[in-house]
Amino acid sequence: MKKQILIADDEEVIRRLLAYNVEKLGASVVLASNGREAIELMTEEILVALIDLKMPLVDGMGCLKHFKEKFPDTPVIMISAAGQVKDAVMAMKQGAFEYVTKPFDLDELVCVVQQAMRLGRSLRETNQLKSAFATSQPAVGFVGASAFTSCLLQQVARIAPLQSTILISGESGTGKSLLARTIHYSSPRAREPFVSVSCPSLPRELIESEMFGHEKGAFTGALQRRLGRVETAEGGTLFLDEIGDLSLHLQPKLLTFLQERRFQRIGGSEVLEADVRVIAATNVDLQEKIRAREFREDLYFRLNVFSLHLEPLRKRTDDIPPLTTQILQRIQKERGCEPLSVEPEALDLMLAHSWPGNVRELENVLERASAFCEGGIIRVQQLPLEINAQVSSQSPETTSGAQMSLAGLPLEEIEKAALQQTLKLCRGNKSEAARRLGITEKTIYNKLKRHGLR
């Protein structure tokens, strides 16, 4: 479903002009010819509202007041005539996101609407997470039953109320981002934004602007003042994911910010203060990065006030059952399907798997398996071949007590063994065996006939 933009102006030409340009952004528009109609049409589905200051029945300021009280997560952009700039500034002081002036600079208009849409989405995502944590949803939060996770969560309970910077380390997919969110929503900052920044994804030429923002005209293409991630996270938590990949160019500026909690937008002279807690995460050895002169040692010590390390899933297999329950509950909620579970034999195979992709791999396996299971129960047949093969290759029934080596065997024998083991794994279901082997049903029947198998 497309996000909706509310446009309220008493001039039909203006409404049509705005609607034409907004629809280019992939949004649908809801049009109102006066303030009363705008208030009646306003719903939770509206992502951004563009409101004219001067309208009949209810003016723009009246609409703004109503929207901020009833729909605080919807950014409001005020539309003003050339002589109404003072009123527009007053509206911003009362909570408007920004204002645009008639006659419109269409590039500037589109830029402002895009920024407002990003903010609207961010506010909604933040509030959804707050709601999930507040109601103790089983599909949200860092869970586990291992001694390691129990100790880790005790540490989290102690440091979450503090304001200190935290550095989380661990392999990719171990749940560093989720742990950071758990810390945030367990802290006094839980009602404020959680802003996540993926350091490798920030373009080098725009990285400082993304972090600290810029003023209008600061560089080519800066058509409007833009708030950076630091300002967006005001009062809350700034999560710097994969900090080890942060550009050397930005590292000194981040260090200065961590030391002073002050910054400047690009092109601006005003020194701004920020009240944010910083949590950083890395999947690389920062000490190695320091030795390679790819990461500043002083920045490392500023980040590493409190250090939390996440063990890979293969070292905390007791976490697999509660993680599986949590993930399946989330899938059930998203799909609106029957309750999902895993049969004991399948769970045993999952416990024996090494999980090189960690929790992320577990999520992917359960997403796929749950799509093919019947009766809401994930069975051995639905698990990927790499999970079954790891155990079956060590099974006494198939290897006579020793793992079979394929080295030196004729390809015909290897193919025959693969067919036999896969059919056994799939309990004789040839269609399922063909799917797992990546061949068609016709091909598997031909191969079975050639090898003298039924």
> For residues 390 and 431, which has the higher predicted lDDT (pLDDT)?
431
Q: Among the CATH numbers 1.20.1090.10, 1.10.10.10, 1.10.8.60, 3.10.28.10, which is that of 315-389?
A: 1.10.8.60
> Residue 400: is its pLDDT beyond 50?
no
Report the predicted TM-score, pTM, of the whole model to 2 decimal places. Answer: 0.60
CB 102 within 8 A of CB 14: yes
The CATH number of the structural domain formed by 4-134 is: 3.40.50.2300
pLDDT grade, residue 5 (50/70/90)? very high
| pLDDT, mean over the chain | 85
Q: What are the pLDDT digits (tens) for 247-271? A: 888 899 899 999 998 888 888 888 8
What token pair was written down for 305? 């006030």
pLDDT at 304: 94
> Residue 404: is its pLDDT beyond 60?
no
pLDDT at 40: 93
pLDDT at 83: 73
CA distance 124 to 104: 29
pLDDT grade, residue 408 (50/70/90)? low
Q: What are the pLDDT digits (tens) for 414-452? A: 888 888 888 877 778 888 888 888 888 888 888 888 888
Q: What's the residue count for the chain? A: 454
CATH class for the domain made up of 163-310: alpha beta
Q: Which residues pair with 326 in a beta bridge?
A: none
pLDDT at 398: 40
How are beta strands 28-32 and 4-8 bridged, if at all?
Answer: parallel
CATH class for the domain made up of 411-451: mainly alpha
Q: What are the pLDDT digits (tens) for 284-311? A: 999 999 999 999 999 999 999 999 999 9
pLDDT grade, residue 394 (50/70/90)? very low
Burial annotation 85-110 (CB, 10 A radius, 16+ → b, else e): eebbebbeeeebbbbbbeeeeeeebb
Residue ranges, comma separated, of all CATH 1.10.8.60 domains in the chain are: 315-389
What token pair was written down for 198? 């993926």
What is the DSSP secondary-structure string of 37-71? HHHHH--TTEEEEEEESS-SSS-HHHHHHHHHHH-
Burial zone of 255 (CB within 10 Å; 0-12 exposed, 13-18 middle, 19+ buried): middle
Burial annotation 165-190 (CB, 10 A radius, 16+ → b, else e): bbbbbbbebbbbbebbbbbbbbbebb
Of the candidates 340, 347, 343, the residue with the CA atom closest to the CA atom of residue 321: 347
pLDDT grade, residue 134 (50/70/90)? very low
pLDDT at 397: 40
How are beta strands 262-263 and 194-198 bridged, if at all?
Answer: unpaired
Residue ranges, comma separated, of all CATH 3.40.50.300 domains in the chain are: 163-310
Q: Which of 4-13, 101-110, 221-230, 349-358 has the lowest mean pLDDT?
A: 221-230
Residue written as token pair 């910054």: 263
- pLDDT average, residue stretch 174-190: 93
- The SS3 of residue 237 is strand
pLDDT grade, residue 128 (50/70/90)? low
